[in-house]
Amino acid sequence: MKIGLALSGGGARGFAHIGVLKALEEMGVKVDRIAGTSAGSIVGAFYAHGYKPDEMLSIISGMGILKSVRPAWSWTGFLSLDGFKEVLKKYLPENSFESLKLPLTIAATEIRLGKVVYFSEGELITPIIASSSIPAVFSPVTYQGNVYIDGGIMDNLPVRPLIGTCDFIIGVHTNPVGQKFDLKNAKDVTMRSLLMAINVNSTASKADCNVVIEPPALGAYSPLDISKAKEIFDIGYQYTKDNFTANDFQLTDYDRTQPA
């Protein structure tokens, strides 16, 4: 049985993906294929490369993501992720999908065509940056003649690339919308608005998963709470351990009768 893992976007909430991966490993769940958007593309790339969850937490939380962000000096966005690209090259030096130990697909949004594009071959790091480029915060990424922004705009939980290639699909969604919101500034309003809009396109994707892991406690964290990486990691890990067992990730007769 081949198990596919879809990892949503979510900014700093994506550290919960790493906690979920650690819990799945402890349960003996072996992932065969990964698809990721935004933060999910970063975690997916590191895991597919062969890094272990504890190692990933240490590396990604220590990468200085915000410190690597630079002014874009352009009307197209406020900040550039070019500095983050250089950081990624240190840990993913082969910079290709083909070098990964597990098949990986990354979702990004082609803004001019208004459609989602899935990358699974060739250069790795530019698609990661494209998938992570939150509109109005980071500059769009021009790649192979097209212009890309955050994949979450069109497909925040990229299950589609796993359908037909995997027998069992686990979706990890890190974007629950908290019920309490304090309006502090324009940045907070923008981030929450994007979060609510993105959640809409995740609904159908969740229906295509055999299991969805969505820790509700993540609603209390901002996508920019990178300094709380360990807390967020622990939430993903503990929620998975408390609410699932290895038996939940096995194909049943009921699952076999369900349409993809």
Residues serving a catalytic function are 38, 150
Residues 6+ apart with CB under 8 A from 8: 14, 36, 37, 38, 39, 40, 152, 156, 157, 171, 172, 173, 174, 175, 202
> 42 and 17 in contact (C-beta within 8 Å)?
no
Q: How far apart are the first and last CA of the chain?
A: 15
* Vertex 165 angle, CA 209 and 51, to 5°: 80
> 106 and 73 in contact (C-beta within 8 Å)?
no
Q: Which amino acid is at 185?
A: N
- Residue 83 φ/ψ, nearest 5 degrees: -65, -35
Residues 6+ apart with CB under 8 A from 95: 89, 123, 124, 125
Q: Which amino acid is at 218?
A: L
Residues 6+ apart with CB under 8 A from 170: 3, 4, 5, 6, 24, 29, 31, 209, 210, 211, 212, 213, 249
Angstrom distance (rounded) from CA 36 to CA 41? 4
Question: Counting every residue, how long is the chain?
Answer: 260
Rg over CA atoms, the chain: 17
